[in-house]
């Protein structure tokens, strides 16, 4: 059994050279891969794409979240060594001796443990004596002295001190399997803050476990979550202050849910090789809660749990695993035909805070990467924003203003992609170029059967402007209508009002609205209202109004709309002639419709002749109807100024609403 120990005794450049030489010399033998010289650093992460950056001073930029991340100690320059959650992976072989040399830039001590592997020597645990000052009170290591009943454990193992290291942690004689690498100090906070990674140990011969043939490919699926409130309030210097502030994960409301450090739609499909080949899925959960990864529509054979190989007759086929905190599972999948297999958390943590879709959703790509490139740009207009692919299999999270943004993806042929525009504050999505179709929700659909280019046009708003309804719309009474507006960046809250009298008096719809749209429950009215306007007012963070806008022209809220006969149509009169379909649509009204009176005019509405009265006691015509009218008597000459009128009346004979058709001609 070989014992290989890699230490960081050399400078970075020398080490790299030695490593390369060592790798070449030992290429026939197994080598520990991955960074084993680690420094814990402050970092910032953005969601959902998991992009990692270094803080400016001690502060993370707005829209990013503070993390404590491992970094490769050998990186030059050092800032490039930060290891995003999910990218800290070490691989080794059964029987190897692994040493991690841990350094620390935080103001609090850290350590490292690998549950399931035996740290030898372990000079911990480290106890502290004053529960009010876990990081600054007296500490001691080893067994609790007799009679001491008040000290508590801070670290399971020996520590790397604040602003200190490197300290050596060695696991001799590794066992095969999938393992989590975690901070062993105050783990409820430090692991949550980002000090986690994965160790993969292969059995002799390079197989996952003895008796399991090597798969064609392997994928690691590391699950974790982020509670940004806890992260952004965690201040390591405040934790060692004279009166310390110690954050707690007891009140835990995670907002971001990650697979390999990213959330949908900030992630790309994961290639798993060709159809019919074998893939080993290594699941691990570094988070604080249980997740249930579910492999849609496929069965995987679960061969190991917590790095213990199951007996052959207990390797059940399942479509999901119960991935509790700290757990690992290994499962074999026989790849199906080429395509994308969704893999998602069946506990449905599938949003990024209040934004869906998002969260723990990814896709395994079989037979990829596909020949068709989709290229997206977001700078088609005066404003800015992001475009995300929000359908199977994701793969685009693009902001042309950001260097390195994910604006291209290769797709298998005939993949239909839905691109959704997300305007930045101060902008609104105006439209698209290059789509095969645009949906009613203004999303872009492209069918990837060749290379496609899509441009998203965002429009900048330097004033508050109502976009819809802006005039001319016909909105059904009692329906939901999406009011949309654009506003400059400083407008953060909005108030909507509507007017039934063209803007003289206003009725509140809602205030304290955030975002750029609102689903307005249009009131049920009595009679078609044709003089309606909407007003939007924007307020800044201090509650001061910074702009207001009103519909450019009036729109209508309709209770009844006559849709047939159509304007310009022509109908013959007399017995035996074709029936004219009088069709109307009715929406909820303020009032109970008891009867529908249908009449017509041949003289431009001056006088009206009866056609029929329909009884609506049963509610048969509540949503409208059609009456087939045979025009009698025959007219002597063409009547080109004819209308049909539908009137809804209540039990007392009063008019609730009425509408007339377009102008048509009655012929003899």
Partner 1 sequence: MNNLMRRKSLLTGVVLLLVLSIPPVTGAYDIPGITGPVFNLTTGTGHVTTGDGNSVYMWMYGVQGGIAQYPGPTLIVNQGDIVDINLTNTLPVPTSLVVDGITVTAVAVAGAILPGVLTGEVPADNGTTTVRYRFLASQPGTYVYHSGTNPPLQVEMGLLGVIIVRPAGFDPVTSRFAYNDIESGYVHEKLFLLTDMDIRVHDAVQKGNYTNIDFTDYHDVYWFINGRTLPDTLSTTGAPWLKNQPYDAFVTMNPGQTILYRMVNASRDPHPMHTHGNHHRIIARQGRFLSAGAGADLSSSAFTTVVYPGDTVEAIMTWTGVGIGWDIVGHGDDVDNPPLGDFPGPGDIDNNNDGILDTCAAQPLEPWEDPADHCKLFPVKLPGAQDLTFGQFYGGSPFLGALGALPPGEGGFNPWGGFFFMQHSHNEKELTNNNIFPGGMATFLVVISPSTLIVQ
CA–CA gap between residue 611 and residue 632 (Å, rounded): 9
CA distances in angstroms from 97 to 89, 93, 108, 517, listed in the order given: 16, 9, 28, 58
Residue with smaller CB distance to partner 1, 519 or 607 = 519
Site for partner 1 in 407-426 (CB under 8 A): 416-418
Based on the shown chain and the rule CB under 8 A, indicate whether residue 432 belongs to the binding site for partner 1: no
Report in angstroms how near the CB of residue 158 gets to partner 1 at its nearest.
37
Relative to beta strand 580-586, strand 560-564 is antiparallel
CA–CA gap between residue 620 and residue 553 (Å, rounded): 35
Site for partner 1 in 455-484 (CB under 8 A): 480
Based on the shown chain and the rule CB under 8 A, indicate whether residue 634 belongs to the binding site for partner 1: no
Based on the shown chain and the rule CB under 8 A, indicate whether residue 298 belongs to the binding site for partner 1: yes
CA–CA gap between residue 153 and residue 159 (Å, rounded): 12
Residue with smaller CB distance to partner 1, 155 or 260 = 260
Q: Which of 91, 217, 296, 379 forms a contact with partner 1 (CB under 8 A)?
A: 296
Write phi, then psi, for 420 (nearest 5 degrees).
-120, 135
CA–CA gap between residue 73 and residue 69 (Å, rounded): 12
| Region binding partner 1 by CB under 8 A among candidate stretches 154-162, 326-334, 373-381, 509-517 | 509-517
Site for partner 1 in 347-406 (CB under 8 A): 347-351, 353-354, 356-357, 361, 390-392, 394
Q: Which of 264, 283, 485, 494 forms a contact with partner 1 (CB under 8 A)?
A: 264
Report in angstroms how near the CB of residue 409 gets to partner 1 at its nearest.
14
| Region binding partner 1 by CB under 8 A among candidate stretches 278-286, 315-323, 493-501, 611-619 | 315-323
In sequence order, which residues have a C-beta less than 8 Å from that of residue 460 and are 6 or more positions away? 381, 382, 383, 384, 426, 427
Based on the shown chain and the rule CB under 8 A, indicate whether residue 303 belongs to the binding site for partner 1: no
Report in angstroms how near the CB of residue 212 gets to partner 1 at its nearest.
18
CA–CA gap between residue 303 and residue 511 (Å, rounded): 55
Residue with smaller CB distance to partner 1, 269 or 565 = 269
Report in angstroms how near the CB of residue 322 gets to partner 1 at its nearest.
5
Residue with smaller CB distance to partner 1, 123 or 439 = 439
CB distance 366 to 341 below 8 Å: yes
Report in angstroms how near the CB of residue 432 gets to partner 1 at its nearest.
15
Based on the shown chain and the rule CB under 8 A, indicate whether residue 492 belongs to the binding site for partner 1: no
| Region binding partner 1 by CB under 8 A among candidate stretches 70-78, 91-99, 177-185, 297-305 | 297-305
Q: Which of 35, 125, 254, 266 forms a contact with partner 1 (CB under 8 A)?
A: 254
CA distances in angstroms from 666 to 257, 635, 643, listed in the order given: 67, 7, 9
Site for partner 1 in 156-185 (CB under 8 A): none
CB distance 428 to 486 below 8 Å: yes
Question: Which residues sit opposite 128 in a β-bridge?
Answer: 139, 152
Based on the shown chain and the rule CB under 8 A, indicate whether residue 595 belongs to the binding site for partner 1: no
DSSP-based three-state secondary structure for 312: helix
Relative to beta strand 452-460, strand 372-377 is parallel
CA–CA gap between residue 302 and residue 44 (Å, rounded): 36
Q: Where are the beta strands (DSSP E) in 287-407?
A: 293-295, 300-305, 308-309, 317-318, 328-334, 339-345, 361-366, 372-377, 385-389, 397-398
Q: Distance from CA of residue 228 to its chain's centroid? A: 16
Binding-site size, partner 1 (CB under 8 A): 51
Tokens 């043939």, residue located: 213
Residue with smaller CB distance to partner 1, 279 or 554 = 279
Under the rule (CB under 8 A), what is the footprint of partner 1? Answer: 253-255, 257, 264, 290, 292, 294, 296-299, 313-314, 316-320, 322, 336, 342, 344, 346-351, 353-354, 356-357, 361, 390-392, 394, 416-418, 439-440, 445, 480, 514-515, 517, 519-521
């Amino acid at each position: 059994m070989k014992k290989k120990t890699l230490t960081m005794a050399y400078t970075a450049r020398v080490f790299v050279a030695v490593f390369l030489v060592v790798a070449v010399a030992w290429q026939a033998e197994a080598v520990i891969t991955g960074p084993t010289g680690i420094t814990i650093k402050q970092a910032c992460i953005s969601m959902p794409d998991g992009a990692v950056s270094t803080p400016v001073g001690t502060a993370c930029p707005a829209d990013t979240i503070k993390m404590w991340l491992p970094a490769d100690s050998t990186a030059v320059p050092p800032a490039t060594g930060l290891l995003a959650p999910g990218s800290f992976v070490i691989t080794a072989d059964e029987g190897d001796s692994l040493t991690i040399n841990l350094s620390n830039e935080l103001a609090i001590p850290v350590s490292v443990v690998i549950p399931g592997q035996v740290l030898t020597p372990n000079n911990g645990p480290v106890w502290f004596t004053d529960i009010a000052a876990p990081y600054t009170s007296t500490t001691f290591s080893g067994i609790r002295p007799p009679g001491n009943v008040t000290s508590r454990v801070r670290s399971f193992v020996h520590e790397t001190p604040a602003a200190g290291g490197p300290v050596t942690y060695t696991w001799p004689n590794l066992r095969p399997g999938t393992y989590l690498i975690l901070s062993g100090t105050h783990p409820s906070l430090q692991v949550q803050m980002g000090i986690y990674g994965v160790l993969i140990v292969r059995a002799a011969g390079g197989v996952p476990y003895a008796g399991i043939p090597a798969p064609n490919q392997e994928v690691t699926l590391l699950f974790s979550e982020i509670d940004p409130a806890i992260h952004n309030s965690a201040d390591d210097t405040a934790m060692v202050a004279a009166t310390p502030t110690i954050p707690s994960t007891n009140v835990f409301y995670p907002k971001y849910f990650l697979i390999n450090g990213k959330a949908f739609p900030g992630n790309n499909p994961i290639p798993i090789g060709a159809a019919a080949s074998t893939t080993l899925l290594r699941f691990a959960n570094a988070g604080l809660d249980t997740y249930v990864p579910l492999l849609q529509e496929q069965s995987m054979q679960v061969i190991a749990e917590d790095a213990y190989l199951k007996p052959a007759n207990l390797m059940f086929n399942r479509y999901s695993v119960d991935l509790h905190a700290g757990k690992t599972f290994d499962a074999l999948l026989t790849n199906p035909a080429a395509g994308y297999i969704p893999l998602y958390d069946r506990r449905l943590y599938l949003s990024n805070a209040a934004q869906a879709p998002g969260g723990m959703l990814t896709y395994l790509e079989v037979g990829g990467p596909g020949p068709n490139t989709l290229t997206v740009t977001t700078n088609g207009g005066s404003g800015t924003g992001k475009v995300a692919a929000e359908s199977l299999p994701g793969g685009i999270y693009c902001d042309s203003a950001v260097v390195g943004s994910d604006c291209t993806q290769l797709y298998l042929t005939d993949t239909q992609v839905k691109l959704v525009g997300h305007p930045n504050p101060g902008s609104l999505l105006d439209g698209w170029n290059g789509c095969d179709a645009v949906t009613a929700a203004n999303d872009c659909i492209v069918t990837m059967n060749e290379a496609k280019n899509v441009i998203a046009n965002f429009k900048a708003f330097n004033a508050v402007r109502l976009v819809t309804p802006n005039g001319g719309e016909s909105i059904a009474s009692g329906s939901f209508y999406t009011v949309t507006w654009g506003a400059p960046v400083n407008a953060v809250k909005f108030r909507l009002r509507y007017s039934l009298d063209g803007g003289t008096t206003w009725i509140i719809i809602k205030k304290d609205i955030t975002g750029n749209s609102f689903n307005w429950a249009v009131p049920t009215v009595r009679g078609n209202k044709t003089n309606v306007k909407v007003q939007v007012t924007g307020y800044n963070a201090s509650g001061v109004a910074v702009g207001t806008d009103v519909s450019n022209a009036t729109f209508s809220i309709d209770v009844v709309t006559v849709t047939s006969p159509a304007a310009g149509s022509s109908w013959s009169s007399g017995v035996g002639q074709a029936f004219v379909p009088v069709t109307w649509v009715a929406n909820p009204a303020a009032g109970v419709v008891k009867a529908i009176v249908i009449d017509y005019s041949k003289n431009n509405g001056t006088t009206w002749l009866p056609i029929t009265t329909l009884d609506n006691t049963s509610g048969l015509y509540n949503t409208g109807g059609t009456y087939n009218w045979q025009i009698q008597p025959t007219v002597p000459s063409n009547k080109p100024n004819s209308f049909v009128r539908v009137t809804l009346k209540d039990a007392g004979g009063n008019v609730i609403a009425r509408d007339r058709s377009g102008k048509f001609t009655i012929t003899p």
